[in-house]
């Protein structure tokens, strides 16, 4: 007589608990599919980078103007910095730059080449300025991580 007979109520309760826990258990086994890293849209990634690293100087509107004066280059200015080639802008972000409005720090210790390309694409799209004619980037001219300057622009042609 060591076995207890389950009543109908106990069986119903166990069934209900099992049915409630089943979706939780199934979620544990399918979570690997859901957590795969999806590549970020370059515009989304570029926006996040701009907000984190560029916004404090270039401002939300890209003008670089704060009360009391100019803090950084105006990204919206016709004929301004965004009229330069991607190659020149990449170098400015990678190595930093001194100019009439101040000094932009080098981001090579902070951003990788893909992040720089993403933020440049975001800035170009957001502020609507294309590079001047004849200044299209040369493929493969981004600096290797840890290098001081972009690769020789003519290297891709040699």
Q: What is the DSSP string of 59-124?
A: -TTS--EETTEE-S--TTSTTSGGGS-HHHHHHHHHH-EEETTEEEPP-TTT--HHHHHHHHHHHH
C-alpha distances (whole Å) from 137 to each of 74, 111, 149, 151 are 21, 19, 15, 12
- Per the structure block, which two tokens stand in for 72? 């950084």
Q: Provide the whole-model pTM.
A: 0.59
User: CATH says 42-140 is which class?
Assistant: mainly alpha
In whole angstroms, give the CA distance from residue 120 to residue 141: 15
Tens of pLDDT along the chain (158 residues) come to: 445 677 888 888 787 777 777 676 666 665 555 555 666 788 999 999 999 999 998 889 998 877 777 778 889 988 888 999 999 999 999 999 987 777 889 999 999 999 999 999 999 999 876 665 544 444 444 444 444 444 433 333 33
Q: Where are the domains of the chain?
A: 42-140
């Amino acid at each position: 007589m060591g076995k207890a007979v389950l009543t109908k109520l106990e069986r119903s309760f166990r069934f209900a608990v099992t049915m409630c826990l089943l979706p939780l258990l199934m979620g544990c086994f399918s979570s690997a599919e859901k957590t795969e890293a999806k590549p970020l849209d370059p515009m989304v990634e570029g926006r996040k980078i701009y907000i984190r690293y560029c916004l404090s100087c270039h401002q939300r509107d890209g003008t670089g103007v704060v009360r009391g004066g100019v803090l950084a280059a105006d990204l919206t200015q016709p004929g301004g910095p965004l009229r330069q080639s991607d190659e020149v802008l990449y170098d400015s972000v990678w190595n930093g730059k001194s100019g009439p409005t101040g000094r932009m720090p080098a981001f090579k210790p902070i951003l990788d080449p893909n992040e720089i390309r993403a933020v440049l694409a975001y800035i170009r799209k957001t502020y609507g300025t294309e590079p001047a004619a004849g200044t299209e980037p040369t493929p493969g001219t981004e600096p290797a991580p840890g290098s001081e300057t972009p690769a020789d622009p003519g290297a891709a042609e040699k």
